[in-house]
Structure 1
Amino acid sequence: MIEQTPKSFLGFDFSTQRLKAVLIDENYVVRQEADVEFDVDLPEFRTSGGVVRGERGEVTAPPLLWVKALDMVMDRLVLAGVDFSTVEAVSGAAQQHGSVWWTKGSEDKLKNLSSEDFLHIQLASVFAADSPVWMDSSTSADCRALEEAVGGPEELAKVTGSRAYERFTGPQIRKMYRTRPRLYNATERISLVSSFACSLFLGKYAPIDLSDGSGMNLLDIHSMKWCEEALKACGDEDLVNKLGTPVPTASVVGNISKYFVERYGFKSTCKLVAFTGDNCSALAGLRLRSGWVGLSLGTSDTLLLGLQEARAPPAGHILVGPTADAPYMALLCFSNGSLTRQNHRDRLVGPSWDDFNELLRSTVRGNMGYMGIYYDTAEIVPRAVSGRWLWDASGKPLEKVAPQFETRALLETQALARRAHAEDMAFRLDKSSRIVATGGASVNKELLQIFSDVFNTPVYIQEQHANAALLGAAIRAADVWSDHVGLKLSGSELKVSPVATPYSDAENIYTPMMKRYRELVQQVPTLC
């Protein structure tokens, strides 16, 4: 009997504060992990939280930091005993919106790397500047100029999936073109962090993928090509060449470079699947399809929605989907998530979720009509000032209500807001819909039951891994490789556990409350 050679798949996540790696086998079981924490493991770069803060809202990161972190994480995988000769494909995720500026001649250096030396030593001189990252807020003037050039914020959102945001790559490129023209002209290629990371493995410039590329304010999400008006507003006629041609996210972009074959023992046929943004990778990791919801319950709450069509979003973002099951994806980030829930838990009952949940259980679904909006910090969706507002069943504003009613008002109104704004993005629930919850608060079954009732759909939690973006990178490597070679892998189905199902009367209770939420939120002062 011929023994089959084991197959494995490697995923990376170049996040803001860490570089993480995970190895899964052909059954999609996690076999090995490693990580490098930038501030701790690479103190010579003097980052705080993985970034360097400058003046007037500038936030950057040195790309050489990410290169050296890759050297370190590869060595840690070696020490952990990973056999790279079994790896059939590699893919990755990265923080979105950040840009990497390669000097002229950089691709030649990528093509001629010596396996005898570290990457960070050989690539020390290839970057024209530190990389602006998603936390940067220094491009307000460039955002307004971009919107004006394309016909206004609504038109830009219609074409690119988002109005102009300071952190997006297009405004960042425009600022560089406007304020540092010599650097712009000396740049041979502009990569996203994801395509930069892929380039390190490919040994040449890797293309930007459509999913991450649609978070730049530069890509026409309908034609899947660069928007000419946006390019003209952000750079010169050479910008299209500096960006290269984007490719579908589920693309094999080539084989791993000779450097990794010789230094680490990868097989020369190991495929590289296009790297993508972390939120895009998370959607893939959660196996979201159209009508499904990825619910990340963290410091802020994030909804990832699989969509069949793109509609100009009134808030949030529409991106090209990373998988065939969801041609488009919506991203909605709510500033007031777990931290706000925790703050009001402390105020109402002290530092115990058990006590909070006990108070919650003393109320009824629908909360006798009491509703509340709690913004401890200015909200993104919708754009609103911080504050707290309470109403009774008749819509009368209240200064305070009994603590038990506040506990349910906090959670129910948050869940109603998530659904209302998802529906504004053309999201529709059907009988096949489900919520897949991740993040720290996903262990709170009382909270998940409220989301199940409000969305009138079952809630599941993912069993495989807490980091959906990292796992998604390895899963994408396996899925795309599987399609590429025509071999179905046994572990490709999503592994989730059901934790909450809606009560039979949930729709009757929460549909009228949804209408009330839409009316009440209009009373909250908006941000200019």
Structure 2
Amino acid sequence: MAEDNVTANRTFLGFDLSTQQLKVAALNDNLEVLHEAHVKFDTDLPEFRTQGGAVIDKSDHHRITAPTLMWVKAVDMVLDRLMMAGVDFSTVAAISGSAQQHGSVYWQKGASQTLLRLNPDEFLHQQLAHCFSVPDGPIWMDGSTAQQCRQLEAAVGGAEMLAAITGSRAYERFTGAQIAKIYQTKPDAYKNTERISLVSSFLATIFLGRMAPIDLSDGSGMNLMDIGAKRWHPGLLDACAPGLEERLGDPVPSNTVLGPVSPYFVDRYNFNPDCRVVAFTGDNPASLMGMRLGEGWFAVSLGTSDTAFLWLKDAKVVPDGHVLRNPVDENSFMALLCFENGSLTRERVRNACAERSWDIFNQLLDSTPRGNFGNLGLYYDVQEILPKLEGDFRYNKTQRVAKFTSLEVEVRACVEGQFIAKRAYAEDFGFDVGRGTKILATGGASKNKAILQVLADVFNSPVYVQKVAESAMLGAAYQAKHGLTGENWERITASLPEPVKVCDPYPDADEIYAPMTLRYRHVVQELLDEKSSKLTK
């Protein structure tokens, strides 16, 4: 009976260290949120002078970093805020977390000894102030490593081979190129580095009190891992810097129990000494967990940039897409698709066509038929990732045109074009559209029923939404329980509310959008060929 009472009272902490803030939630055994707290970097820690949580180099605006000590100080603050909110840390059974992907932390030699000797009477940031050989580490926004990206690709025979090995071609913001640049430009700092963490494993290290390993899922987004073999690729490590394998350590599955919480937190905050730290992961893998995405689901986050998630059985690589190890099932994978032109592009068309009103926008959208009379529009306010194009491209049934015949055609062309693109790339990953598949919509536009109806029709699949926000933070808390108990993932999350279906596709949807998807592919290829031809002249 006493054991049942302990189980009933146990809680789980899920952290999320995003670009702009550190958030944490305390969940009970039914995974219901009991308490939340957050620290916003710009406003709560103004002494670090960040903008949006980052520092942009004035002489090179492509070089973007974040102060590692700011994140440490945020841990001090967020735990104090939880304590003031009444959280009893002695009930916490396990901790896990997520963090912005592609950032890196450089621990100075001797830092591991400092972590073992932390004084519970002092703040963390006071004791770790001199533990980082690179005080401001590069983060995902940094775009200053084009040279190092080409070096990585050359080391394995080109971009396609790199993607086949690591799941992605070389990206400036990925950690492998960032490490190579640190070694090349700051050799003394690299030499004095004891360990290199991702932001996720850095945060895990803080709570573990010793160097935490990188998990397979976040580690697979570094351009350094052989994602099939689940280990670092020797040739890529050598292409970055000497002694890198020792500085990274061996990666571990995402649900690995790393050990007990550091005595520092036991003495300072009254954590239970039996509280376990489960491996921390990246925010995208954690979001997959928070959305409870499984096979047959395609999740679309409709935000400033649109992001799509997909559960994969096999590592099928798509140009400019990303494949990561799956945080729930280490034998599976997840696909990640990023589209730069999301809500801001939809808002631009709304402002031009619908008097800045979503109600009018939706009326125009609903007044046009599925398929839009054969009109197709591709709108890229900034250079798109998938595909690499910029500008507005409009087509009627037969040819490219300067403008459409009506505002309602323009509105539907924007929405249909965006979703047809997502369908095309989902199909490339092997997503079998309409064959029992389901779409999960999140983000700001997931509240717009008219837009979601187009999404359902284009994918010939029902669309669902979740009431749960903060999927990365909650996914981390779910992983804490998953790692601690070792129970089946479906059983762990069975108590959570199911997604709510908001719309079904019309019966004729696939007759309309399968041919339009094929047409989209032809149009994009023509535009890319045209762009390539201009560049070679």
TM-score, normalisation: structure 1: 0.96
Counterpart residue number, 1:189 = 195
Query: What is the aligned-residue RMSD (CA, Å)?
Result: 1.8
In the alignment, is the contact (CA less than 8 A) between 1:307 and 1:326 conserved in 2? no
Superposed CA offset, 1:248-272 (max 9, x none)? 1111111111111111111111111
Structure 1 range deviating more: 516-525 or 327-336: 516-525
- 2:5 aligned partner: 4
Q: Which position in structure 2 is the counterpart of 1:417?
A: 421
1:435 aligns with 2:439: yes
Task: Give percent identity, aligned residues only.
Answer: 52
- Could you give the per-residue CA deviations for residues 410-455 of structure 1, whole angstroms, max 9, x where no partner exists? 1111110001012223333464421111111110011111111111
Equivalent residue for 1:229? 235
Contact 1:287 1:494 in 2 (8 A): no
Indicate yes or no: 2:498 matched with 1:495. yes
2:88 alignment counterpart: 83
User: Counterpart in 2 of 1:13?
Assistant: 16
- After TM superposition, give the deviation of residue 401 of structure 1 in Å: 2.3
Give the Å deviation of 1:304: 0.9
Aligned to 1:366: 371
Matches within 5 A, 1:37-52: 37-52=40-55
TM-score (norm 2): 0.95
1:72 paired with 2:77, answer yes
- SS of equivalent residue, structure 1 residue 78: helix
Q: Are the structure 2 counterparts of residues 363 and 484 from structure 1 closer, same or farther at C-alpha, using a change threshold of 3 Å?
A: closer
Q: What is the CA–CA distance in structure 2 between the aligned matches of 1:458 and 1:477, rounded to whole Å?
A: 31
Conserved 8 A contact 2:14-2:97: yes
**Aligned ranges for residues 379-458 of structure 1 at < 5 Å?**
379-384=384-389, 386-429=390-433, 431-458=435-462
CA distance in 1, matches of 2:488, 2:378: 51
Residues 314 and 425 in structure 1, CA contact (< 8 A), matched pair in contact too: no
Structure 2: distance between partners of 1:230 and 1:283 = 28
In the alignment, what sits opposite 1:30? 33
Show CA shifts across 1:4-52 (max 9, x none): 1312111001111100011111111111110000010011111111111
Structure 2: stretches of 5+ with no match in the other structure: none
Displacement after TM superposition at 1:486 (Å): 11
- Whether 1:344 aligns to 2:340 is no
**Is the 8 Å Cα contact of residues 286 and 494 (structure 1) preserved in structure 2?**
no
Aligned residues: 525
Q: How does 1:136-151 map to 2 (within 5 A)?
A: 136-151=142-157
Structure 1 residue 203 and structure 2 residue 209: aligned?
yes
The equivalences for 1:450-469 within 5 A come to 450-464=454-468, 466-469=469-472
Match 1:524 to one of 523, 527, 532: 527
- Partner Cα separation in structure 2 for residue 480 and residue 188 of structure 1: 28
Give the unaligned 5+ runs of structure 1: none
For 1:487 and 1:282, the matched residues in 2 are separated by: 16
Contact 2:142 2:173 survives alignment (8 Å): yes
Partner residue of 1:335?
340
CA contact (8 A) 2:393 2:400 kept: no
Moved more, 70-79 or 314-323: 314-323
Query: Is 1:244 paired with 2:245?
Result: no
What letter matches 2:5 in structure 1?
Answer: Q
Residue number in structure 2 paired with 1:473 = 476
- Asked if residue 110 in structure 1 is aligned to residue 111 in structure 2, the reply is no
Task: Output one character per residue of 1:178-216: Cα deviation in whole Å (capped at 9) or x when no partner.
Answer: 111111111000000000000000000000001000111
Distance in 1 of aligned mates of 2:497 and 2:112: 38
SS across alignment from 1:33: strand
| Residue number among 312, 323, 331 corresponding to 2:317 in the alignment | 312
Say whether the 8 Å CA contact 1:163–1:217 is kept in structure 2.
Answer: yes
Deviations 1:39-66 (A, max 9, x none): 1001111111111111322111110000
Partner of 1:167: 173
Cα displacement (A) at 1:390: 1.1
Q: Deviations over 1:293-351 (max 9, x none)?
A: 12110001000111111023211211111112981011111011001000100000111
